[in-house]
Amino acid sequence: MNKNINISKAKTYWKNSWNKATIIYFFTSLIAMLIIILLTGFFKKNINYTARWSNAITVGTVIILTISLFVVMIRKGLGRGLFKTFTSFYHNVKISSRAKKQYSNYMLQHEKDKILTRERQKYNDELNKKTLKRNLEPITNLSSYLLISISILTLTVGLLIVHYA
C-alpha cells in the first residue's frame, strides 16, 4: 500500500512538473547551453586546444547553472518583497484604468470612489480565482533541477574528458 502511495506521488509530481512553459524553458536552456559551448569553443582563439574547450564547457554550463539556480531561488521566495512592491503598483494601475473608463466628467468624488472600490473588488475576486486555480495545480521546479544536474554532469564529465584526452 505504501509503495502505491509513493508511486502515485511521483506520478503527480511528474505530471505537475511539465507544461508548455516549463518544456520550452527546459529545451531552450539546453539549446542555449550547447550554442554557448560551441560558440565559445570555436571562436576562442587559444593555442592550447584543451584549454579552449575546457573554457567553453565551463562558460556554457556555469551560465545555465546560474540561471537555473536563480529560477529555483525566485520560485522559493527570493526577492518576494521586492516583487510585491512592483506587482501591487501594477495592480493599482490596472484597477485605476478600469475605473477611469467608467468615469464621466460630471461625477462627484464620492461616486468615483464607489466605482474604484467596486473595480478593486472585482479585480481581487479575479486574482483570488487565478490563485485558487494555480494552487490546485502546483508547478514544481523539476525542470530547473534537471537543468542543474545536467549542467553539473556536463561540467564534470566534459572537463574530465578534455583534461585526460
Non-local (6+) Cβ contacts of 38 within 8 A are 56
Q: What is the pTM of this model?
A: 0.67
Query: How many domains does one find in the chain?
Result: 1
Other Cβ atoms less than 10 A from the Cβ of 89: the count is 10
- Residue 123's domain comprises 2-164
**What is the C-alpha separation between 93 and 72, in angstroms, rounded?**
29
Q: What is the pLDDT of residues 22-74, one digit of tens each?
A: 899 999 999 999 999 898 888 877 667 777 888 888 889 999 999 999 988 88
Q: Per residue, what are the HEC states of 35-46?
A: HHHHHHHHHCCC
pLDDT at 62: 92
**What is the C-alpha separation between 25 and 22, in angstroms, rounded?**
5
